Structure 1
Amino acid sequence: MQNTDVIIYHNPRCATSRNVVGLVRAMGYEPHIIEYLKTPPTPEMLLWLANRANVSIREFLRTKEPAYKKQGLDDETLPDDVIASKMHDYPELINRPIVVCPKGVQLCRPAEKVTNLLILPEE
């Protein structure tokens, strides 16, 4: 197994998330898995992840969840810190899986996107 740190914000009920974990392991890495529904990232961490991924915090939002409209997140004028706070308070709003490694951060949907972040181990 590779010693490179790979962190996956994971939902075990999500097939895409499970596929990413499997792909990461198949590439020779043992990921550190964070079940974000049990341990949601702080608003600051969510903002850092989005910044590191070079995307808007809205890219990490699950817009089909009932909490999306209930929390008024369809309001395009909401500032990023408010969105991140709502995502922390309602972690079902966090899209997954988010993968963090030295090469960068990416929302890996579809699962195959994770291969862009990882280098195959030397034989």
Structure 2
Amino acid sequence: MRLILNVIWLVFGGLWLALGYLLAALICFVLIITIPFGFAALRIASYALWPFGRTVIDKPGTRPGALVGNIIWVVLCGIWLAIGHVVTAVAQAITIIGIPLALANLKLIPVSLMPLGKDIVPVDDINRPVGALV
């Protein structure tokens, strides 16, 4: 089921959203001081391209620099990417088949606003005991 949802997602919004994140990464790489944001944008671009079967978790430990970085990110790129997710979610929610895609878009909004201090992991890894062999 994940494969089918991911393919439908890719065709009906995922590709355009991933291109938006790639554009944000390019802008961040050009500005040099925002290179860490560019890497975060690339990480989210892969998630925006193929979201079903993966989820976002907080990285362990305290990250005081992530808060400051997230504030800068929201001003530079985050708000525009979040608006893109809202617009795409509304367009996808028009049809019954698009409702799961719209929900996935809404799930991406928090990470599009605050990407630093987050990690994208497979859903199967969440329930795996710590130290278990892969």
Q: Is this a same-fold pair by TM over 0.5?
A: no
- Give the structure, 1 or 2, with the largest relative contact order (CA under 8 Å, sep 6 or more): 1
Greater percentage in helix: 2
Q: Structure 1-normalised TM-score?
A: 0.29
Larger Rg: 2
